[in-house]
Structure 1
Amino acid sequence: MAYFERIDEHVFRATEHVSGAWETQFQHIAPALGLLAHAVEADCDARRSDGLVIGRLSYDILGKVPVDVVRIEVEVLRPGRTIELVQATLSHAGRAGVLLRAWLMRPGDTAGLRATPLPAIAGPEDMPAWDPTTVWPGGFIASVEVRREQAEPGRAAFWVRTPLPLIRDEKVSDLARMAGLLDIANGMTVRAKPTEVAFPNLDLTAHFFSQPRGDWVGFDTSVAFGSEGVGLTTSVIHDVHGAIGASDQILTVRPG
């Protein structure tokens, strides 16, 4: 019971729990984003021992990825003593499906400066349970637990967690686990019924000013549609201790 099974150093098999919301024969890309983050962290740990942390994850989704075997390759684009820019590519049958560019940064002690004006959201224990399978099909959506307070269509705060490991019999960081849930934001407070309007995202960029802790991922999310077929889902990201970052997803909005 996991989203992926490792075959070798670079190759992973997606399980039925990865099946997508728009088309179930293709992957919901959320777990793949976590898999790429884990690959970047594992590559960094294999090369150096100074504990760089990820400050930014920027994904470009190049196309649909079947629920099948995928391959991941990692390369360092900009090496450095205190910062690195690393790229990871997820491919299927020789075709790139997702690109990740991640900034890794040397951590320091700034506990005395810690502060944010970003407002808190109610904790998961204070939000009602909500069943996302009432809106979306697919194995990934069925695998998650959601607590949600919706203000209106396209505006909500919610918490998400999953009992399934990202990779079978393999430990991953809290950040990689969280990265595997971030892409769900676009579907948790829909502005239009997905049976009437398609609005898949082409990318996801997340910035972190604190490293995540715990199983729950919190979102304070707004969805906007423009008048020229483009939309934006933007979220402040939380763990149970407070806001830790933000993410954006650009949408292609397709009525009918």
Structure 2
Amino acid sequence: MAYFERLDETRFRATEHTSGAWREDEQHIAPALGLLAHVVERDAAARREDVLVASRLSYDILGTVPVAEVGTTVTVLRAGRTIELVEASMTHGGRTVAVLRAWLLQTRDSSSVAGTSVAPVPGPGELPAWTPSETWPGGFIGTVELRRHLEGPGRGWFWVRTPHALLDDEPVGATARFAGLLDIANGMTVRADPALVHFPNVDLTAHLLRVPEGEWLGIDASQTFGDNGIGLTSSTLHDAAGPLGSLAQSLTVRPRGA
């Protein structure tokens, strides 16, 4: 079973595999973010003969959404020959629940100046398997496979993959497939027991160097809680080819009873 079923050109039905970690009758937002990346890429492919690559995926999470039917819209905010800014929204029951703004860039040969100071992380074959459902409930968490090293509270690195498609019977690009896993970064190297502290993210922004490669997404994550109810999960992203980009999530930190 895939995470979503297409109903028509703009509407989708979430399956039980999207059920969330904070509440199982609500969607884990991760697959929904992947779906928004997919509708952006599908719209671009329908409008253009060339291929632009997503260099930034910036999401605002405006509310919770049940495991139910959702609608999507896509708008080109800044059209261009080599650069576009595209916005996609997800709605449920007439309410907007998530918005994506994506920068799409034309690629060109820059191999003569390519390089990075980002250190690689040990590959998935070098890390022990870990079952995230030991910490988190929900259908989505139950669908992923993880290899993890936990350095300490709020600090560690891991690799994640899923055998489930974002959509059945429809091609989905590597960027959208990886985007459907990004939100998991906030919960795999936790600083506090989620039974005692809630720390959902209100946004997610990923900057990508290229189209991802392979089936595993690597995330080197650091989670910080301030003393004012605000937190941050900052990560570097990796894939089979090496460093892939960066990720940031703003958190609302809510200790039980506070």
Scaled by the length of structure 2, what TM-score is found?
0.98
Letter in 1 for 2:31: P
1:221 is aligned to 221
The equivalences for 1:1-256 within 5 A come to 1-256=1-256
CA offset digits 1:72-96 (Å, max 9, x no partner): 1000011111101100000001110
Report sequence identity in percent: 59
Preserved contact between residue 235 and residue 246 of structure 2 (Cα < 8 Å): yes
Deviation of the 1:196 alpha carbon = 0.3
Letter in 1 for 2:125: E
CA offset digits 1:150-192 (Å, max 9, x no partner): 1001001100000000011111111100000000000001100
Q: Quote the Cα distance in structure 2 between the aligned partners of 1:112 and 1:24.
A: 49
Report how many aligned residue pairs link the two structures: 256
Q: Quote the Cα distance in structure 1 between the aligned partners of 2:84 and 2:62.
A: 24
Deviates more, 1:208-217 or 1:57-66: 208-217
CA offset digits 1:193-227 (Å, max 9, x no partner): 00000000000000011221111000000000001
Letter in 2 for 1:83: I
Letter in 1 for 2:238: H
Letter in 2 for 1:132: P
Three-state SS of the structure 2 residue aligned to 1:160 is: strand
Could you list the runs of 5+ residues in structure 2 that have no partner in the other structure? Answer: none
Q: Quote the Cα distance in structure 1 between the aligned partners of 2:67 and 2:107.
A: 36
Deviates more, 1:34-43 or 1:167-176: 167-176
CA offset digits 1:83-140 (Å, max 9, x no partner): 0110000000111000000000111111232211001000001100000000000000
Deviates more, 1:144-153 or 1:205-214: 205-214
Q: Quote the Cα distance in structure 1 between the aligned partners of 2:200 and 2:67.
A: 18
Could you list the runs of 5+ residues in structure 1 that have no partner in the other structure? Answer: none
Q: Quote the Cα distance in structure 1 between the aligned partners of 2:201 and 2:39.
A: 22
Three-state SS of the structure 2 residue aligned to 1:164 is: coil
Q: Quote the Cα distance in structure 2 between the aligned partners of 1:111 and 1:35.
A: 32
Preserved contact between residue 118 and residue 243 of structure 2 (Cα < 8 Å): yes
Letter in 2 for 1:92: H
Preserved contact between residue 54 and residue 210 of structure 2 (Cα < 8 Å): no
Three-state SS of the structure 2 residue aligned to 1:119 is: coil
Three-state SS of the structure 2 residue aligned to 1:137 is: coil
Q: Over aligned residues, Cα RMSD in angstroms?
A: 0.6
Q: Quote the Cα distance in structure 2 between the aligned partners of 1:7 and 1:120.
A: 41
